[in-house]
Structure 1
Amino acid sequence: MRAVRTALFGRRARRRWIHLILGGALAMPYVFVGSVIIGPLIGDDHVLGSLTAQLSSFAVGLPLAAVTALFPLTRPMSVAAVRALCGVPDDALAEGPARSRAARGRTAAWFALHLGFGGVISGMSLALPPFAAVLIALPFFSALRDSRLGMPAAFGEPWVLALSPLIGVASLVALAACAAVAGGLLAHWAPRLLGPTPADRLADAERRAADLAVRNRLARELHDSVGHALSAVTLQASAARRVLDQDPEFVREALAAIEDTTRRTVGELDAVLGVLREADGARSTAPAPSLAADLDGLLRRTRAGGLRVSATVGMDPAALPPLVSREAYRIVQEALSNALRHGGDSCVTLRITPAGPDLTVTAENPLPAHSPATRPGGGHGLRGIADRARLLGGAAEAGPAAGVWRLTVRLPLMPPKGHA
């Protein structure tokens, strides 16, 4: 009994009832248009006074509603109402306007069903409660019996009067049952008619892929810029502390390098966060670092941390394409950062040379004597380098070779179209 009461009058049933009433309200303009068409056909100017004329107007209005449902905003409006009132899971419904002819057709069918069921239930909701109230009160008020209110003569019989309250209550229960069934049918059909089509699923997958690409790009940029700066500043401060009393000139150089590194990193961080601001229409004005703009500065700041860097550059960095110059800078930065973290004060040999249609970046440093070549749980920087190279159509290799740790990256000087 409790399950029946919940099914007919529970919170979900009441919300679906409201959804049906909303459909009835939306149906009214189409019914009025239908009455304008039906009136001349039946020769009656008072269409709304005849039940048959009303039903005919309703039948004419529903196809008109289906036609107007082809407008783009119909599906988002219907989906919002279903989510709020019908208890349908969010992932079972599509986002945005219908993109295909089939999706628009299903939206039109849904809109007609919603307005059709809603119009019937709304009419019953307006007519049955007053009728049921009269039936329930009929045995107890003689004025109601005397007025008859257009009721059949049988309602004057004693046995009918005795049953009229039960009939009134039964009519209210029947109304609730009709509303529950109609609401349940709409909730059952909603995923089929308003659910995502293959085109919607493809568009959603593309959005997720784009979001993931932005997140990966942010992760790489933060790892390379901020991670390198923190490693460099830590080693520079450590080196300055060790020789604080013996070599004041080196300490001054280290402090200057720390100041320069942190200042540049703040600018780079602003550029990275500008990727987030682009979603709001605001772009950062801080330029991304590149080999052409800052290779010498990167080498100078790295050497100030105690790492000996032997660099060979086989071309003018300013002649590189901007995209290749930016990505190569980050790759060199990560290679030097790894050497700072794991190589101590060893020497790094860096070569940046053209090789046919590619730019080759090679970094070598001696393997540490007492520490692993890779950190447990680490390797994010190497993955970032590989990602950068792959996105430009190149490749990256890293690993121990003949007593040294060697990183070799190949970047096409003409990246694939679509990268910027």
Structure 2
Amino acid sequence: MPFYLLASVFVGLVTDGADPLRDVAAQLLSFGCALPLAALAALLLPQLRPLEVAAVRTLCFLPAERLADGPAPSWAARRRTALWFVAHLLAGGVVSGMTLAAPPAAVVLLVLPFTAPLQRSVPPWMQDLPGALGPLAGLGLLALVVATAWACGVLLARCAPALLGPTPADRLAAAERRAADLATRNRLARELHDSVGHALSAVTLQASAARRVLDEDPEFARQALTAIEETTRAAVAELDTVLGLLREEDGTDPAAPAPTLDALDALLARTRAAGMTVEAAVEERCAGLPPVVSREAYRIVQEGLSNALRHAGPVPVRLQLRLRRDQLTLRMENPVAAGGAGPAPAAPTARTGGGLGLRGIAERARLLGGEATATATDGVWRLTARLPLAGSAHTGADGS
């Protein structure tokens, strides 16, 4: 309607003697001039697409997945929206005009044979209709209005997915959003599994060892309880760090930074308190690694120790961190089953649905452009990870 009124004013100004309020030709001309104005508005206003999509969903009963969401992001999408808007207005104008003009004429034709004064005041072509032909023409006119409205609705419903459906850019943006959401979920799953999972495994073994020697060796039990306290305190801190990742998604800073290789000594101390013997060979140069590489290397070591605790018990573990050129090489070895004596905890129980830790290690290595392998040979479990230092530039400061 605003476009038609603006076009009517323009037609009245540039055309001599034209009256858009009474002259049918002037009305049609105004309607024709209003359509380009509507197309221009659709091109300049990307917010028009959500309004049209809402109307189509309500009136045409189309599934939501066949239509795009949000404003038109590109000029191609805007052109499609403009074409749809013009088609919508054109169909609406035709149906509106017929709805305003045809029903009164149909009523006149229906009562024409029964009203003599009306027969003298109608146009000559109506006066020439014989007998029942007038009412039949009136019914036909009403049927034409209904059929036109139905045909326009069907045509618009068929055109809507093509003109208001998601463009390739929309599909790409949706795929990128899904990929980002999945990456965030995987990242949180890795952090929870490696940090809290390791702490729970260590606490379980420490508590089991303390229970077994509580009467025979109270001092050992006291040390185990102290280790449990330290491990749980560290686990709570790391849980705050993982929850901070969620706050990062909201644009706020995390509660605490994620641990790096600077905290490796404390990790090894907590692991040794669980009854595991850890022999570590770490080059001094590893202290100056990029933060992302250092953080992922810490998590890989943590998960490797956690796997040994869960599946083999308090076995001796050999850890080696070597820096060669632009690559950090991490190796861990341990027997596949405990063979020592002493107050060892109960044998680890088999778990179903495992393998998440190894998958997380492989994902962490791939994020840095490296690789990780884990194999069991001759009764020895070997974990090897190679992390290129240059890969940290591609992952960003958050390691995501």
Fold shared per TM-score above 0.5: yes
CA contact (8 A) 2:300 2:361 kept: yes
> Deviation per CA, 1:289-326, whole angstroms, max 9, x where unpaired?
1111x212211221222222122221255412111111
Q: Which residue number corresponds to residue 342 of structure 2?
A: none
Structure-2 separation of matches of 1:290 and 1:417: 17
TM-score by structure 1 length? Answer: 0.83
Per-residue deviation, 1:167: 4.7
Structure 2: gaps of 5 or more residues: 340-346
Q: Identify which range, 103-112 or 165-174, moves more after superposition.
A: 165-174
Structure-2 separation of matches of 1:149 and 1:285: 90
Decide which of 230, 237, 240 is 2:207's aligned counterpart: 237
**Distance change in 2, residues 1:354/1:158 (3 Å):** closer
Per-residue deviation, 1:271: 2.4
Q: Which residue number corresponds to residue 67 of structure 1?
A: 40
Decide which of 359, 370, 378 is 1:383's aligned counterpart: 359
Q: Does 1:57 align with 2:30?
A: yes
Decide which of 391, 394, 399 is 2:370's aligned counterpart: 394
CA contact (8 A) 1:66 1:109 kept: yes
Decide which of 93, 106, 115 is 2:80's aligned counterpart: 106
Decide which of 84, 88, 92 is 1:118's aligned counterpart: 92
SS in 2 for 1:406: strand
Q: Does 1:189 align with 2:159?
A: yes
CA contact (8 A) 1:39 1:46 kept: yes
SS in 2 for 1:250: helix
Structure-2 separation of matches of 1:276 and 1:36: 57
Q: Does 1:44 align with 2:13?
A: no
Q: Identify which range, 303-312 or 251-260, moves more after superposition.
A: 251-260
Per-residue deviation, 1:39: 1.1
TM-score by structure 2 length? Answer: 0.87
SS in 2 for 1:122: helix
Decide which of 301, 306, 310 is 2:275's aligned counterpart: 306
Per-residue deviation, 1:120: 1.6
Letter of the aligned partner of 1:267 in structure 2?
A
**Distance change in 2, residues 1:118/1:239 (3 Å):** same
Q: Percent identity?
A: 59
CA contact (8 A) 2:60 2:153 kept: yes
Letter of the aligned partner of 2:123 in structure 1?
P
SS in 2 for 1:417: helix
Q: Which has the higher helix share?
A: 1
> Deviation per CA, 1:25-83, whole angstroms, max 9, x where unpaired?
xxx11111111221133323632221111111000110111111112222233223222
**Distance change in 2, residues 1:276/1:147 (3 Å):** farther
Per-residue deviation, 1:155: 5.8
> Deviation per CA, 1:166-195, whole angstroms, max 9, x where unpaired?
554543333222111101111111122222
Q: Which residue number corresponds to residue 221 of structure 1?
A: 191
Letter of the aligned partner of 2:64 in structure 1?
D
Decide which of 315, 331, 341 is 2:300's aligned counterpart: 331
CA contact (8 A) 1:315 1:354 kept: no
Q: Does 1:278 align with 2:252?
A: no
Q: Does 1:250 align with 2:220?
A: yes
Q: Identify which range, 377-386 or 322-331, moves more after superposition.
A: 377-386
Per-residue deviation, 1:286: 2.0
Decide which of 152, 175, 182 is 1:212's aligned counterpart: 182
Letter of the aligned partner of 2:318 in structure 1?
T
Structure-2 separation of matches of 1:369 and 1:249: 23
CA contact (8 A) 2:110 2:139 kept: yes
Q: Does 1:362 align with 2:331?
A: yes
Structure-2 separation of matches of 1:369 and 1:328: 25
> Deviation per CA, 1:356-398, whole angstroms, max 9, x where unpaired?
2211211111122799999663211111111111110111111
Structure-1 separation of matches of 2:338 and 2:287: 38
Structure-2 separation of matches of 1:166 and 1:226: 82
Structure-1 separation of matches of 2:82 and 2:129: 51
Letter of the aligned partner of 2:389 in structure 1?
L
Structure-2 separation of matches of 1:156 and 1:243: 116
Structure-2 separation of matches of 1:372 and 1:400: 17
Decide which of 105, 123, 131 is 1:152's aligned counterpart: 123
**Distance change in 2, residues 1:154/1:227 (3 Å):** same
Structure-2 separation of matches of 1:257 and 1:373: 22
RMSD over aligned CA atoms reads 2.9
Structure-2 separation of matches of 1:68 and 1:415: 48
Structure-1 separation of matches of 2:248 and 2:100: 53
Letter of the aligned partner of 2:147 in structure 1?
A
CA contact (8 A) 1:315 1:353 kept: no
Q: Does 1:176 align with 2:149?
A: no
Structure-1 separation of matches of 2:222 and 2:349: 32
Letter of the aligned partner of 2:9 in structure 1?
V
Structure-1 separation of matches of 2:370 and 2:297: 11
Structure-1 separation of matches of 2:96 and 2:237: 63
**Distance change in 2, residues 1:45/1:379 (3 Å):** same
Structure-2 separation of matches of 1:170 and 1:374: 80
CA contact (8 A) 2:50 2:70 kept: yes
SS in 2 for 1:98: coil
Structure-2 separation of matches of 1:277 and 1:138: 76
